[in-house]
Amino acid sequence: MKVKSNFVALSLVLSTSLAFSSFAMADQEAYRIDDTHSFANWTIRHVASKTSGTFSDVSGKILIDRENLAHSSVEAKINLLSVNSSHAKRDEHIKKDEYLDVAKFAEMTFVSTKVEAKSNTEGVITGTFTLHGVAKQMSFPFTVLGFGTDPWGGYRMGLEAHTSLKASDFGLNWALKPNAPVGNDIEITLLIEGVKLPAEKPIK
């Protein structure tokens, strides 16, 4: 009788655990980053002022729990070939080995490892950021901008995040040269829009 009782108790524990796990997963919504409505905007010093631009090809996936952002995650990829500073000649210069060296390093990536929720709309995300073949842990604040139905019958969400980095931390040493016209500190604003996916559809 004792063995049977233990078996029943174990079964109840396992059933409860599985049910809780399924419930937790059900709270996560899956979104595909829309590369036509997402941008990685940057600002950097140029001589005595600043210049800015964007990377317009941003892709990846977002899993979000609206009730507890700590259960969320992000994987993103930015195509460096999509750099746009509103000047074609400057864009081609940025792509060369003197700067981003896109022939060898055509993308930068971010994979989250932790999300700290400050509220249901704000938090701090930590993860591995890789640029120019160098991977580093980064943490930065983000805000959930909202959710809504789009004009095409889909459903979307928006995120905004701000961070900064030093180019030299990633082996990009243009600012270390004497009288360098371009600075070392890069300010980044991420404007991310995601398209909700059906629960049964995997994100590629």
Question: Does the pLDDT of residue 107 top 50, yes or no?
Answer: yes
Q: Write down the pLDDT at residue 21.
A: 40
Share of the chain above pLDDT 70, in %: 85
Residue 3 DSSP label: H
What is the extent of the structural domain holding 77? 28-196
Assess if residue 11 is contained within a domain.
no
pLDDT (average), residues 54-67 = 97
> With contact defined as beta carbons under 8 Å apart, do 189 and 161 qualify?
yes
Question: Does the pLDDT of residue 7 top 80, yes or no?
Answer: no
Q: Name beta bridge partners: 127.
A: 112, 138
pLDDT (average), residues 19-41 = 78
Assess if residue 104 is contained within a domain.
yes
Assess if residue 204 is contained within a domain.
no
What CATH number should be reported for the domain holding residue 150? 2.40.128.110
Assess if residue 117 is contained within a domain.
yes
pLDDT (average), residues 42-66 = 97
Please tell me the total count of domains within the chain.
1
Q: Which of these ranges, 16-20, 162-166, 174-178, has the smallest mean pLDDT?
A: 16-20
Q: Write down the pLDDT at residue 51.
A: 97
Assess if residue 136 is contained within a domain.
yes
Assess if residue 86 is contained within a domain.
yes
Assess if residue 4 is contained within a domain.
no
- Mean pLDDT computed over every residue of the chain: 89
pLDDT (average), residues 59-83 = 97
Question: Does the pLDDT of residue 202 top 70, yes or no?
Answer: no
Q: Write down the pLDDT at residue 13.
A: 41
> With contact defined as beta carbons under 8 Å apart, do 72 and 115 qualify?
yes
Written as six digits, the tokens of 143 are 């805000």
Beta strands in 57-203 (DSSP E): 58-65, 73-79, 83-84, 107-117, 122-131, 134-149, 155-166, 182-196
> C-alpha distances in angstroms, 81 versus 9, 90, 105?
58, 13, 10
Assess if residue 3 is contained within a domain.
no
Question: Does the pLDDT of residue 64 top 50, yes or no?
Answer: yes
pLDDT (average), residues 101-124 = 98
